[in-house]
């Protein structure tokens, strides 16, 4: 089973298409909607945890791009700003996906973008404002 978190950026022209339905039916992919903001005839985004065989996943992503949608991995949009981070660990306690954690040797906060769900709780929990999430 292959699984990735992706962001699908909709345009005004693509916002009314049954994209997720087709991913499930035609490409045998399962999904979990992590975040979404789509309105008719407006730009929007959908954050999905998408799973299936690697072949079907690749075919599904190719379909999305053919339909005129911009697709990127979620990990590309979430970053830990090392220059701002004071390694206090406030974010670690709020991160339910364990994407933020302490390195026991250095006692520094580390970030695993692949585990991140994009919930943005770390942004509000961080007193140093070291987490940057740019979904748009």
Tens digit of each residue's pLDDT (9 = 90 or more) over 12-61: 888 888 999 999 999 999 999 988 888 888 888 898 999 999 999 999 99
CATH 3.30.70.260 fits 77-133, yes or no: no
Q: Do domains 2-75 and 77-133 have the same CATH topology?
A: yes
Give the separation between CA 62 and CA 58, rounded to whole angstroms.
6
Residue 88: its pLDDT value, please?
95
Residue 136's pLDDT band, with cuts at 50, 70 and 90, is: low
Domain boundaries in the chain? 2-75, 77-133
pLDDT for 90 equals: 94
Taking all residues of the chain, what is their mean pLDDT, rounded to a whole number? 89
pLDDT at 57: 96
CA dihedral of 99, 103, 104, 105, whole degrees rounded to 10:
170
% of the chain beyond a pLDDT of 70: 96
On whether the CB atoms of residues 77 and 7 are closer than 8 A, the answer is yes
pTM over 0.85: no
CATH class as words, domain 2-75: alpha beta
Band of pLDDT at residue 128, cut at 50, 70 and 90: very high
């Amino acid at each position: 089973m292959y699984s990735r978190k992706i962001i699908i950026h909709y345009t005004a022209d693509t916002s009314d298409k049954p994209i997720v339905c087709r991913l499930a039916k035609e490409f045998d992919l399962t999904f979990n909607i992590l975040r979404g903001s789509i309105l008719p005839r407006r730009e929007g985004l959908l954050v999905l945890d998408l799973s299936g065989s690697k072949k079907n996943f690749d075919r599904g992503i190719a379909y999305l791009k053919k339909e005129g949608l911009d697709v990127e991995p979620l990990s590309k949009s979430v970053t830990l700003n090392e220059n701002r981070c004071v390694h206090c660990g406030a974010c670690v306690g709020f991160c339910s996906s364990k994407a933020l954690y302490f390195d026991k040797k250095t006692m520094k906060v580390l970030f695993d973008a692949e585990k991140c769900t994009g919930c943005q709780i770390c942004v509000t929990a961080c007193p140093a404002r070291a987490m940057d999430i740019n979904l748009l």
